[in-house]
Structure 1
Amino acid sequence: MENKTTLLLIDKILEDLDKTGINTDTLIDDLKQLRTHALEAEIPLVVKVLRLTYEHIEENGNFMIPMLVEEEDEFEAIEVANEPVESLKYLIALIRNLKNKTNIADLKEYRDLLNAY
């Protein structure tokens, strides 16, 4: 996503995650706002992933999808320290550069994991 306002919102979300972790009060609103940007930019994958993400956080009070790592052209979820925050930060960071095919593949994997949860 190349819009400066969108990039500032992504940076704000990442900074808030670093400072306060998954604070559902502000995070869900920020994710909904970011989703609006994705709707305006007509990026259906990002729209879907963001909706699934904030619905998942609303239901669970946390981000329960594990971090992704790639192993020989396949993705595998792994356990890491402070996993919910790190996994969510990774997901949000993927949205910054949608020209990277790996980022698109990872977003699709997150979509599938969120749907399956």
Structure 2
Amino acid sequence: MENKQAIKLVDKILGNLDKTGINTETLVDDIKELRTYALEEQVPLVVKVLRYTYEHIEENNTFLIPILNDEPLEDGDDTIKENENDTPVESLKYLIALTRNLKNKGNISDLKEYKELLMNY
């Protein structure tokens, strides 16, 4: 995102995830606030992904979407990486970090994948 306040908020969310993990009370409020910046910047994909994310967290009290596979996909491959080290916190941190740089096509692509996973969960 372009807004300096939005980038500060992304950094705050990432820092809080490192310190306290998925603390649903503050986390959901912070993601909702980040979503307002995406609305202002008129980035519909990020607006949707952030809404689906906080709704998912409210429903499940955690983030149950695994980190995306970072290798190129071939037909028939799973889009989800099977790795014991993947935690809800790491996956959520990755999703939130993607919103920092929306000029990166890889970030947009990963956000679209997260959107699909969240919609189908």
TM-score, with normalisation over the residues of structure 1? 0.95
Give CA-to-partner distance per residue, 1:11-67, whole Å, 9 cap, x none.
000000000000001000000000001001000000000000000000000000001
Report the 3-state secondary structure (helix = DSSP H, G, I; strand = E; otherwise coil) of the residue aligned with 1:69: coil
Aligned to 1:76: 80
**Which amino acid in structure 2 is aligned with residue 10 of structure 1?**
V
Q: Among residues 101, 104, 108, which one is paired with 1:104 in the alignment?
A: 108
User: Superposition pairs for residues 1-117 of structure 1, below 5 Å?
Assistant: 1-73=1-73, 75-81=79-85, 83-117=87-121
Asked if the contact 2:38/2:47 (under 8 Å) is kept, the reply is yes
Higher strand share: 1
Percent identity of equivalent pairs: 66
Letter in 2 for 1:38: A
List runs of 5+ in structure 2 lacking aligned partners. Answer: none
The verdict on how the C-alpha distance between 1:30 and 1:71 changes in structure 2, with shifts beyond 3 A counting, is same
What is the alpha-carbon distance in structure 1 between the residues aligned to residue 33 and residue 84 of structure 2?
Answer: 28
Query: What stretches of structure 1 move > 3 A for 4+ residues in a row?
Result: none
Contact 1:65 1:113 in 2 (8 A): yes
Matched length: 117
Which structure dedicates a bigger proportion of its chain to helix? Answer: 1
Is the 8 Å Cα contact of residues 31 and 54 (structure 1) preserved in structure 2? yes
Q: TM-score, length-normalised on structure 2?
A: 0.92
Q: Which amino acid is the alignment partner of residue 8 of structure 2? A: L
Q: CA RMSD in A?
A: 1.2
SS at match of 2:103: coil
Is the Cα–Cα contact under 8 Å of residues 67 and 86 in structure 2 kept in the other structure?
Answer: no
